[in-house]
């Protein structure tokens, strides 16, 4: 065997080993992901539960509003819920659109069709929980978030900025900033009033990482 043939032979062996290792590593990652999320049946049930809630609500809601409903009643954890919702949006079972600078989600007609077809896969006790405990609390008024933002002078050359998100007649998020730049204070207040929902969601995502 000449030197070129030997190099090609060793290279082929190396690629074979690398390919085999990648397959094993990817399989291990898939097992880890499945262990983290749950089995396939549970994943399907979680998606159907989200579709069921959205159909019952029958109105656009924000990600944070839906998250609050799901987590407050322990229907699934935050990571699973966000992953399932993302897959539903990618599959066009849930529509996501920006309305008045807020991203809102609602069930699509395709999602309604899928839900009708697989409704039997949702355990009766979960449907009962959604109907009797989750949705009665979810009136339009309770699901309506509103944000406030203001700034005021503190001393001669300093300004305090107050950012709030109110939900269910309570203060859900409050942020206080201090700056000595008046233009910056005005800019922050303007942005918060325009995109408070998206910004609050990003803050919650970072805190939940």
CA 27/CA 136 separation, integer angstroms: 43
Residue 138: is its pLDDT beyond 70? Answer: no
For residue 31, what pLDDT is reported? 56
Residue 125 and residue 85 in one domain? yes
Residue 73: is its pLDDT beyond 60? Answer: yes
DSSP state letter for 168: T
Q: What is the rounded average pLDDT of the residues 197-201?
A: 76
Residue 94: is its pLDDT beyond 90? Answer: yes
In which residue are the tokens 């008045």 written? 100
Judged on CB neighbours under 10 Å (0-12, 13-18, 19+), 107 is buried
Residue 170 and residue 115 in one domain? no
For residue 92, what pLDDT is reported? 92
52 within a domain of the structure (yes/no): yes
Residue 166: is its pLDDT beyond 70? Answer: no
Domain count, the chain: 2
CATH at residue 62: 1.10.10.10
Q: What is the rounded average pLDDT of the residues 166-187?
A: 79
Residue 98 and residue 165 in one domain? no
CA 131/CA 57 separation, integer angstroms: 10
Residue 64: is its pLDDT beyond 50? Answer: yes
Residue 107: is its pLDDT beyond 70? Answer: yes
% of the chain exceeding 70 in pLDDT: 71
For residue 9, what pLDDT is reported? 47
Residue 88 and residue 123 in one domain? yes
Q: Which residues pair with 179 in a beta bridge?
A: 159
**Interhelix angle for 63-72 vs 40-57, to 10°?**
120
Mean pLDDT in the chain? Answer: 75
Helix, strand, coil proportions of the chain in percent (round to 5)? 65, 20, 15
73 within a domain of the structure (yes/no): yes
Residue 177 and residue 199 in one domain? yes
CB-CB contact of 135 with 73 (8 Å): no
184 within a domain of the structure (yes/no): yes
Residue 60 and residue 112 in one domain? yes
């Amino acid at each position: 065997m000449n030197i070129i043939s030997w190099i090609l032979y060793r290279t082929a062996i190396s690629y074979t080993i690398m390919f085999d290792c990648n397959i094993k590593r990817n399989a291990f990652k898939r097992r880890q992901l499945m262990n983290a999320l749950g089995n396939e049946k549970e994943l399907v049930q979680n998606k159907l539960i989200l579709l069921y809630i959205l159909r019952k609500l029958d109105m656009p809601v924000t990600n944070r509003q839906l998250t609050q409903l799901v987590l407050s009643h322990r229907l699934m954890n935050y990571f699973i819920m966000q992953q399932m919702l993302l897959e539903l949006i990618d599959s066009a079972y849930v529509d996501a659109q920006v309305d008045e600078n807020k991203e809102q989600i609602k069930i699509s007609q395709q999602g309604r069709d899928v839900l009708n077809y697989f409704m039997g896969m949702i355990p009766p006790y979960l449907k009962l929980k959604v109907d009797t405990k989750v949705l009665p609390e979810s009136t339009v008024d309770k699901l309506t978030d509103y944000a406030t933002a203001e700034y005021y002078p503190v001393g001669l050359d300093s300004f305090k900025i107050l950012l709030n998100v109110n939900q269910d007649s309570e203060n859900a998020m409050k942020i206080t900033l201090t700056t000595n730049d008046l233009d910056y204070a005005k800019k922050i207040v303007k942005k918060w009033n325009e995109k408070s929902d998206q910004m609050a969601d990003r803050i919650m995502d970072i805190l939940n990482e």
